Amino acid sequence: MSHTPINLKDKFSQFSEHWSPRVIAELNDYQFKIAKVQDDFVWHSHPDTDEVFLVIEGVLDIEFRDGGVTLEAGEMYVVPKGVEHKPRALSECKIMLVEPKGVVNTGEAGGDLTAENDVWV
């Protein structure tokens, strides 16, 4: 067992792709993922799980069909399961996601922004 802390700055420095979450830790059946995001993502939902967005650096907008929320560094928001949403960032934003293993980033929407699962940094 390692007693080394996980350094977010170091982990973010190991990749440059946008909308490609990287796993940094697991807790029971949940994964902690970090991602760099910029511009618009796709409208999607996760019918079987809530999704947590925690902004580490930058500003993230999460649009909903009936409004939206803006998150700044140090703020988080839980999107309830089944709620359609579209994240976007006007400039690069660093986020952490917490979700069960196997969750696809684009939900059932699919498309070009679907990232490979279980990629660790």
Judge whether 108 and 49 are in contact, CB under 8 Å: no
The Cα angle at residue 7 between residues 50 and 29, in degrees rounded to 5: 35
The tens digit of pLDDT for each residue in 56-83 reads 999 999 999 999 999 999 999 999 999 9
pLDDT for res 1 = 74
Domains of the chain by start residue, with CATH: 8-100 (2.60.120.10)
At 63 the pLDDT is 98
Sorting pLDDT into bands at 50, 70 and 90, what band is 23? Answer: very high
What pTM did the predictor assign?
0.95
Average of pLDDT values for 88-112? 94
